[in-house]
Amino acid sequence: MAKPLLLLPLLAAACFFFLLASASAPPVPAAATYTPATPTHPGAAAGCYPRLFAFGDSLIDTGNFIHYSTAPGPVARSPYGETFFHRPTGRWSDGRLIVDFVVERLGFPYWTPYLAGKTKEDFRYGANFAVASGTALNQLLFRKKHLNVGGITPYSLGVQIGWFKKVLATLGSTEHERKEIMARSLFLVGEIGANDYNHPFFQNKTLDWVKPLVPQVIRSIGLSLETLIGLGAKTLYMPGIFPLGCVPRYLFLFRNSTSAAGGDLDPATGCLRWLNDLTSHHNNLLKAKLAELRRAHPGVSLVYVDYYGEVNDIVSAPTRTGFAPATVLDACCGGGGFHNANFTIHCTEPGAVQCTDPSKYVSWDGLHMTEAVYRIMARGILDGPFAMPPIMSRCKKY
């Protein structure tokens, strides 16, 4: 049965959820944004993977979006980046992302974003191809379904894989060299897929309209994994989607069409049960696809990363990880209103309400999470138990 959707102005949805913003938004100076920094623990994982290649969306985009966009919007303004970098860097958070913590543990400097890279040296430790608003499916498919693509980046997962092929060609001049690079590198493919559902939901599409996209999204992810494996990849980590039903902006959007009594809200978490069911459906199909690929490629390690379980544990028992139960579903920085998630006012705009301590909040801006949560999630993939085997289990020293 189709869930009722609030009728939102399309322009507002495109501007505030799809990561577009007004052309008046000032871009971040290039030098301040793209200069790699020294990791917190350089050389911590000597003898581990020599390179990391990452693909995805705003959960791991470290600057590609603001490099290509002529209107980079809120992510190019304070308070984004305030916690760690003390300036906006193109990361959709108050500080570091999951991939930053992985890079630190591997002993690499923070990446130059792929779209800002110019030389072979820029990709010495790998590359991050993720772009905010990125999807597994491409724009053409959404156009065929009569969806407005104004807020959908053209840089889908397939395009990101194409970028990777170009980088690989610069790193290895022979087939043998390229195969060696592939075999020794670590690949983080995702999280990807959430925006394939977010975009239509925020254009007032129903659950019945969105759910048939899930098998297509998984097929697209599977094809990208097959491409990487065909090029010689041996170690790939694929995160599932975190529980979308716990995202403050969704809770704000559906505030008038849900009720605990009607079974729409999970009594244990306060999250939207039906939206989390959709998320679980995606994750279950992804796990099935990975099992299929393992059977087809027995010499390749394909590891599922349980982002859903990680975030669900935090929301279900927030005090265990230092978060307050009263605000666990609220945005730290938002437009006020229900869960501080009124997205007609963005975090960076006049009238926004900002918390005093982001480390006590799960959600940063109502859509993306805080560095505090990303740190916990990174631990789950680096050391377990939300990725088995964890990344660091393959390294000679921690």
Annotated catalytic residues are: 58, 365, 368
**What gap in Å lies between CA 188 and CA 393, rounded to an integer?**
16
Q: Is residue 321 within 8 Å of residue 311, measured between CB atoms? A: no
Q: What backbone phi and psi angles, to 5 degrees, belong to 221?
A: -60, -45
Amino acid at 164: F
Q: How far is CA 35 from CA 59, 110, 122, 292, in A?
A: 20, 8, 10, 41
CA angle 274–280–285, rounded 5-degree value: 135
What single-letter DSSP state applies at residue 132?
Answer: T
Q: Which of 39, 76, 168 has its CA nearest to residue 114?
A: 168
The structure tokens listed for 159 are: 């395009």
Q: Is residue 32 within 8 Å of residue 90, measured between CB atoms? A: no
Q: Is residue 57 within 8 Å of residue 155, measured between CB atoms? A: no
DSSP string across 10-65: HHHHHHHTSS---TTSPPPPHHHHHPPPPPSSTTTTTTS-S-EEEE-STTT-SSHH
Helix%, strand%, coil% for the chain, nearest 5: 45, 10, 50
**What gap in Å lies between CA 361 and CA 302, rounded to an integer?**
32
Would you give the distance in Å from CA 53 to the centre of its chain?
14
88 conformational bin, left if phi > 0, alpha if psi -120 to 50, beta if neither: beta
